[in-house]
Amino acid sequence: MLQLLLLFTLLLPYVCHSQVPASPCESRFSYVHEGNEYFGQIKLDRLERGRTEIKVAFSQRDSLTSNYYGRITPYPEGPLQVNRVPALFRVHFPNPSKPPKLTKLSINGNVLCSSSRYSAPSSWFELTYTVNAQGGNPPPQTVVETPTYVTAPPPAPTRPNPTYTTWAELLHNYTTTVPKGPASTRAPSTAPPPMTFSNIFLTERFQQNTTVTCGTEGNVVRPFLHGGKELVRGQFPWMAAVYRKETVHSLSYICGGTLLSQRSVVSAAHCFQNLPATQMALFLGRTNLESFSEDGFVTRDVERLIIHPDYNSLPDADIAVMRMAAISSYTDFIRPICLWTESTQVSRVVGLSGTVAGWGSNENGQLVSPIAKRAQVKIVSEVDCIRSSAVFSKLVTSRTFCAGNRDGVGPCMGDSGSGLVLQRNNRWMLRGIVSFGQTNRGQCNLYEYVVYVDVAQHLNWLEDNI
């Protein structure tokens, strides 16, 4: 028995060590064992001024069992010096007891090393950490923000019971639970920014290289579900879900958005009152917000939030652009919408039915619908809109329009910022953004029209900011 125990003791370090995959570039990436956990360590000769993007890809033998894919942090954590030699970064794995296999390490797009993935059954994931150093003389140390990773949105708080209010007010009441941050950026600054670092944490899964035309849907089977409401994967691939970072461990859905380019998403300005870009995250390629096993979705931190300079809490200029790190390629699930190219006169689209889709409140009482839904709504004239309700006389301008069927179907709370699109010559074009809807006792009143920002009246501003 003593001999067997001694043999087991001698073999135990070998057994533990044998589960650590070999690194394809040990001088740049190594595995570190501390206690019962494994970490990855990335080593750079130094941290250069400017933008440094570190991207790592991993393969593991089993499936991902949660929506946490790991993160990258400076090592040691805390203040990061520009001239640190060498610059070390630590990779925190989804399962610290089972380190995944490194399959690619790249710095600023330059692949330093690569290796094959595990054979099926297996799974893979990528992590990216970006440091931006810009502007004048750097301070001795600059703090890098903590990366955010994704969990399911927290349960909706108990609904208040207002007698009559707007979606914007209700969304603020329901979702604003973090301290107020600095005001959003309204226009690009001409002065050079101070030396700052920003951490961009993102997860990319199963991307494909595809050249696509704007306003086209993916190659998907399109069943007509009960009521014709729910979207299927690949429909409306320009839809974006906008989240607020509640804590290091959680996000909260706030609004919809529309992908305009590889670097920009447009939404409603009222979604971001007292919310800085650093507290926002974007999901692209999602259909079911409760399923993090969907293939082909991408998350992005918002690098910059640009609010229309004319925005004054009314629908007239209720529009904002979010800038993000560029998407490497379009897929069946991630494609941009087309901007409007026809006549910008509202009278030319009155009587037409547009389609609006989003994850807003549903008939089941859920503040956020797990699966995106769509509805067709008829665009009406300014006269008909104002005649329908005295409320609209203060809201409708030459840069807005009204739409709806007044039958209880349409966009609701949580659909703010979502796009209204029309199909023209087999391509979908963005014409409106959900801005204002009436409520009654805390419930959407879709027996009244909804006010949309007319995107066609803001094309010059959009083109300057995407």
Q: Hey, where are the domains in the chain?
A: 20-136, 167-217+228-459
The rounded Cα 122 to chain-centroid distance in angstroms is: 26
Higher pLDDT, 130 or 253: 253
pLDDT recorded at residue 452: 95
Residue 193 pLDDT more than 60? no
Mean pLDDT of 459-465: 92
pLDDT recorded at residue 5: 41
pLDDT recorded at residue 368: 81
How far is residue 377's CA from residue 418's CA, in Å, rounded to a whole number?
Answer: 13
CA distances from 296 to 208, 254, 438 (A): 8, 22, 36
Architecture of domain 167-217+228-459: Beta Barrel (2.40)
**DSSP notation for 86-97:** SEEEEEEPSSTT
Q: Which of 98-107, 186-195, 228-237, 306-315 has the lowest mean pLDDT?
A: 186-195
Mean pLDDT of 19-28: 91
pLDDT recorded at residue 348: 95
Pair 457, 348: CB distance under 8 Å: no
pLDDT recorded at residue 420: 95
pLDDT recorded at residue 290: 81
Model confidence pLDDT, tens digit, residues 69-104: 678 888 886 655 666 678 899 998 888 888 999 999
Q: Which of 219-223, 339-343, 392-396 has the lowest mean pLDDT?
A: 219-223
Mean pLDDT of 189-205: 29
Model confidence pLDDT, tens digit, residues 311-365: 999 999 999 999 999 998 898 899 999 999 999 999 999 999 999 998 887 766 6
The torsion angles phi and psi of 187, rounded to 5 degrees, stand at: -155, 155
pLDDT recorded at residue 165: 36
Give the number of other CB atoms < 10 A from CB of residue 180.
Answer: 10
Residue 186 pLDDT more than 60? no
Mean pLDDT of 443-450: 86
Residue 195's pLDDT band, with cuts at 50, 70 and 90, is very low
